[in-house]
Structures are given as C-alpha cells and as structure tokens.
Chains A and B, each alone.
Chain A
Amino acid sequence: GAVVSQHPSRVICKSGTSVKIECRSLDFQATTMFWYRQFPKQSLMLMATSNEGSKATYEQGVEKDKFLINHASLTLSTLTVTSAHPEDSSFYICSAMGVYNEQFFGPGTRLTVL
C-alpha cells in the first residue's frame, strides 16, 4: 500500500517557539494532502486541505496565521505551528490522497509545548 511518512515523530518545545512538521508521500505523488489534529480518545479533526502549488484551505475555527501550511511539491507538505503554546500540544496527523481519492495517513507527530 501507499506509504506516508511524517517527521519528526515527536517534538518537545518551549512556549513561543515555532515547530515545523513534514509530511511526505514516499511511493506516490499527491496533489492533495490533509492535516488533522487528534486529542486523546477522540476522532480526527480536519484542520486544513493542502493542494500542491496553491494556498491551503482551512477549516472553520483554525487560525491560518498560526498553522502555516506549504505544499511545495507533489510529495511534500509542511505544517508550521507558529508561536506555539501549551494548548497547541496535540497529536498532528497528515494524510495524502491517492489516485482513487482514498486517504493514506502518516504515523503522526506528537507535539508537546512546555
């Protein structure tokens, strides 16, 4: 099956710093990728849709200036959490859309903001 990687898998940072998370489709090209956030024992919450070569589409309530998304190539999308605060601590997961519009998920990145 299609493989999606995320880096880093875990990050701990101080409040006020920025953190970049990378999402890569390893064996296929993805014009569309998605970024989700997941709290403990809850389902996935879609944050934004990332399209290669264009601006991301953010879901209602998600601050675009805080969660910067760049989809620079057909295999790479990045999420930057700017000026992170403890409330931004969460599990961030990306997915990449395959040729049949199915979504393949990365392993997730656990962000802890101290």
Chain B
Amino acid sequence: QKEVEQDPGPLSVPEGAIVSLNCTYSNSAFQYFMWYRQYSRKGPELLMYTYSSGNKEDGRFTAQVDKSSKYISLFIRDSQPSDSATYLCAMRSSSNTGKLIFGQGTTLQVKP
C-alpha cells in the first residue's frame, strides 16, 4: 500500500463547476499538507500549504485536512479552462529533513 493515494483521473468537468480533488494517506505522522498544480512540461507550483487539521481558503481554492480520517481535499470553485492541469497532493512529517511524499497526481480538464 502506498503512503499516499490519489486517484489519477482524468477528471473532466464543465467550466464553472466546483472541482473536488482528494488524497488519503496512511502515516499518522504527517503534519504538513500541500497541493501543487503542474502544467504539462513545467515544474509544480505551490497552491496551498496547511498545517494539521482544518480549512484554508485562498481565492477560488479551499484546502481541507481531516487528520482523524487521514483525508485531504482541494476544492476549486468556478473552475476555468486555465485550471486544466495535474494536481499533486504532498505531505510530510515534522522532521527536519523536509522530504515530501507525493500522491500520483490527478489530471483535471475543464471544458469551455
């Protein structure tokens, strides 16, 4: 079993839809949770960075962490064609190494 599970999709939605992306994990030591967006042939871009459980909102993006269920989510409101990309969840423990464990990535396509 992988430490972090993420459905690779692809996920196709119409423009304006609310998108829900999810990851589950097995290591209870994970404390920091991130979502990255990666366009084809580019490096990942940090979208959201959260610590422990709770919600965080930034514009059209909302990140949720439920540590009791070992489940994290990223919601995208009013999705746009420019949101079409691969979304990677990543997480790490509080150790000083800073090493991230990534999900497989979910490919999202927002159709105009």
Contact = CB atoms under 8 A, between A and B. Distances in A.
User: What does DSSP make chain A's interface, helix, strand, loop or mixed?
Assistant: strand
Interface footprint category on B = 20 to 34
Contact of B41 (A34, A97, A100, A108): A108
Contact of B44 (A1, A44, A49): A44
Contacts of B46: 1, 102-105
A43 B36 CA distance: 11
B97 interface: yes
Interface residues of A, number: 23
Interface stretch (B14-22, B66-74, B98-106): B98-106
A42 B97 CA distance: 23
A46 B44 contact: no
B94 to A, nearest CB: 9
Interface in B61-112: 88, 90, 92, 97-100, 102-105
Nearest to B96: A101
A8 interface: no
Contact of A100 (B49, B90, B103, B105): B49
A32 B98 CA distance: 9
B60 interface: no
A49 B96 CA distance: 12
B34 A102 contact: yes
B80 to A, nearest CB: 20
A97 B49 CA distance: 13
A101 B46 CA distance: 12
Contact of B98 (A1, A4, A103, A108): A103
Interface of A: 1, 4, 6, 32, 34, 42-44, 46, 49, 91, 93, 97, 100-108, 110
